[in-house]
Amino acid sequence: MSTVPLSPGSASGIPGFLPTHVVPPGGLATWTAPDGTVPTQPLDPLLPVRLVERRGEWGQVLCSNGWAAWTDARLLVSLPQGPPAAGGLPERTQDARALLARVQEALGQYRTAMEDLAAGRTDGETFAGTTRGLRIGAVLDGDAVWLYDAGRDVWCYCDGTAMAALASPAGPGGES
């Protein structure tokens, strides 16, 4: 992902960055302005971003490294910004530890494949084959964590005691 910086020198990162959305699994096209005339590099799948401005269907997103671009805001997957409503989690699901273990395992597999590629022990084709099908997503913010459950294609919120499915790419009323 390579997008337009908000200001010179901002690529070093944003202290206290809090995402509001995640890029959908297919990634998203981006533009330098909300007019669709000058495309830039696409946003990576499942990248946490902050929606900083909205103009109709256009949205300017900010990435944790300080880069920003315009994209189709309708396609962003919303992250809850706090615990669910006072009624508690709507649908308690399995213990989050199993999903955390899958995230850790997939990240470990990717890291091993990346290290083998960087050390010249494998080639690009083998790297692509080894990493094919790996998919994770996680946003950790203090005591709250949002995890992407690739098996169900749904984002889950965990409050430390239980986990609930909260955001589905299928949208409102869609299957999750």
Q: What's the pLDDT tens digit per position in 110-144?
A: 999 999 999 999 999 999 999 998 888 887 777 77
Q: What is the pLDDT of residue 32?
A: 94
What's the rounded Cα separation, in Å, for the pair 61 and 32?
A: 11
What's the one-letter identity of residue 127? F
Q: What is the pLDDT of residue 93?
A: 55
Q: What is the pLDDT of residue 167?
A: 52
Alpha helices in the chain (DSSP H): 96-118, 124-131
What's the rounded Cα separation, in Å, for the pair 79 and 155?
A: 8
Show Cβ contacts of residue 111 under 8 Å, excluding neighbours closer than 6 positions.
none
What's the rounded Cα separation, in Å, for the pair 136 and 150?
A: 7
Q: What is the pLDDT of residue 94?
A: 63
Segments of the chain with pLDDT less than 50:
1-12, 83-87, 89-90, 170-176
What's the one-letter identity of residue 84? P
Structural domains present in the chain: 4-78 (2.30.30.40), 96-167 (no CATH)
Pairing, β 154-158 against β 77-78 = unpaired
What's the rounded Cα separation, in Å, for the pair 49 and 23?
A: 7
What's the rounded Cα separation, in Å, for the pair 112 and 110?
A: 5
What's the rounded Cα separation, in Å, for the pair 73 and 169?
A: 13
The model's pTM: 0.49
Q: Exposed (0-12), middle (13-18) or buried (19+): which is 21, by Cβ within 10 Å?
A: buried
Q: State residue 115 phi and psi, 5-degree precision.
A: -65, -40
Show Cβ contacts of residue 166 under 8 Å, excluding neighbours closer than 6 positions.
80, 84, 90, 146, 154, 155, 156, 157
What's the rounded Cα separation, in Å, for the pair 107 and 137?
A: 10
Virtual CA dihedral for 21, 22, 24, 25, nearest 10 degrees? Answer: -170
Q: What is the pLDDT of residue 61?
A: 95
